[in-house]
C-alpha cells in the first residue's frame, strides 16, 4: 500500500522534471518560443480583415452567416495550437534525441521512457498554450474595439479546445519524429502540415470541394480541430464536436504510446 502511495505522485511529478529542464534552457530566450504565435496573427490581419473586406460574410454549416474574420479566427486559433505542438515535438525533439543525447542521460535517473514522453508532451502543450493565450488576447482586444471575433459565450471554451488540438498534434508529431533519420526528413512532415493548414476549412468552407474530397478533408486532424473551435466561437454546436474531441484525444494517446515504444527501441535496444 505504501509503495502504491509513493508511485502515484512519482508518475505525476517525474514528467514535470522535463518541463522544468526546458524552462531553464529557454529562460533567457523565451521570446523564441512565444514568437510562433505571430504567424497566425499575421494571417488574421491580412486574410481575415484584408480579404474579409472584399469577401464580406461567409455561410456556416447551419446556414447562418458570419463576417469573414469571425470565420477565419477560430481556424487560425486551431492552427496556432497545432504549430506550437509541432514545432516542439519535431525539430527540437529530434535534436535532443539524436544530437544532444539528452534522453540517454535522463534514463540514467529514476525517470522512465514513459516519463520522458509524457514530460515532452506536457512541454509541447505548454508551448502551444502560450501561442493560444497570445492569440486569444489579441482577439479579446479586437473584441473590445468592436470587431467581435468571438460571437458566442461558448467561446470561453476555445482555450481548452485548443489544448485538445495541441495534445493530438503533440502526440502525433513526436511519434513521427522518432522515425526521422536526418533533418531533411522533416520536409515530409511539412508536406503534411502545410496542406492541412491551407485546405482544412481554414480560409473557406470545404463545401467548395467535390463531395469525395470533402469526406477526405473531414477525416484530417486539423479540420476536426477547426470545426470544434469554430463551433464554440460562433455558437453553432453540434454532435460532431464530441467526435472532434474523441478523435484528437485518441490521436494524442496513440502518439504517446508510439513514442514510449520507439524510445525504448532507440535508447535501450
Sorted by sequence, the CB contacts under 8 Å of residue 154 that are 6+ apart come out as: 231, 232, 233, 235, 237
Kindly state the DSSP code that residue 62 receives in the 8-state scheme: T
pLDDT digits (tens, 9 = 90+) for 19-58: 888 888 877 766 666 666 677 777 777 777 777 777 878 8
Per-residue pLDDT at 166 exceeds 50: yes
Contact 187, 268 (CB under 8 A): no
Per-residue pLDDT at 7 exceeds 90: no
C-alpha cell at 91: 525539430
Contact 161, 241 (CB under 8 A): no
CA dist., res. 212 & res. 227, Å (int):
18
Per-residue pLDDT at 3 exceeds 80: no
Dihedral sign of CA atoms 235, 240, 246, 252 in order:
negative
Residue that is written with C-alpha cell 513526436 in the block: 174
- Give first-to-last CA distance, the chain, whole Å: 33
Per-residue pLDDT at 183 exceeds 90: no
235 three-class SS: coil
Amino acid at each position: 500500500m505504501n509503495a502504491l502511495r509513493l508511485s502515484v505522485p512519482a508518475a505525476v511529478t517525474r514528467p514535470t522534471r522535463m518541463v522544468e529542464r526546458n524552462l531553464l534552457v529557454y529562460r533567457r530566450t523565451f521570446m523564441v518560443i512565444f514568437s510562433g504565435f505571430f504567424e497566425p496573427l499575421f494571417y488574421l490581419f491580412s486574410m481575415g480583415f484584408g480579404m474579409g473586406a472584399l469577401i464580406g460574410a461567409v455561410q456556416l454549416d447551419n446556414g447562418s452567416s458570419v463576417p469573414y474574420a469571425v470565420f477565419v479566427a477560430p481556424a487560425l486559433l486551431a492552427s496556432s495550437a497545432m504549430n506550437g505542438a509541432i514545432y516542439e515535438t519535431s525539430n527540437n525533439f529530434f535534436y535532443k534525441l539524436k544530437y544532444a543525447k539528452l534522453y540517454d542521460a535522463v534514463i540514467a535517473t529514476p525517470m522512465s521512457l514513459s516519463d520522458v514522453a509524457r514530460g515532452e508532451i506536457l512541454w509541447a502543450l505548454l508551448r502551444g498554450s502560450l501561442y493560444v493565450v497570445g492569440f486569444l488576447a489579441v482577439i479579446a482586444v479586437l473584441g473590445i474595439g468592436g470587431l467581435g471575433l468571438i460571437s458566442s459565450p461558448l467561446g470561453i471554451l476555445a482555450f481548452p479546445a485548443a489544448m485538445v488540438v495541441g495534445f493530438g498534434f503533440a502526440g502525433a508529431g513526436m511519434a513521427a519524429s522518432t522515425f526521422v533519420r536526418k533533418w531533411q526528413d522533416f520536409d515530409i512532415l511539412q508536406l503534411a502540415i502545410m496542406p492541412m493548414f491551407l485546405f482544412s476549412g481554414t480560409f473557406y468552407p470545404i463545401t467548395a470541394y467535390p463531395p469525395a474530397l470533402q469526406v477526405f478533408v473531414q477525416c484530417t486532424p486539423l479540420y476536426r480541430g477547426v470545426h470544434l473551435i469554430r463551433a464554440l466561437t460562433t455558437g453553432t454546436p453540434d454532435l460532431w464536436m464530441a467526435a472532434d474531441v474523441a478523435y484528437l484525444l485518441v490521436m494524442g494517446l496513440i502518439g504517446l504510446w508510439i513514442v514510449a515504444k520507439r524510445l525504448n527501441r532507440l535508447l535501450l535496444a
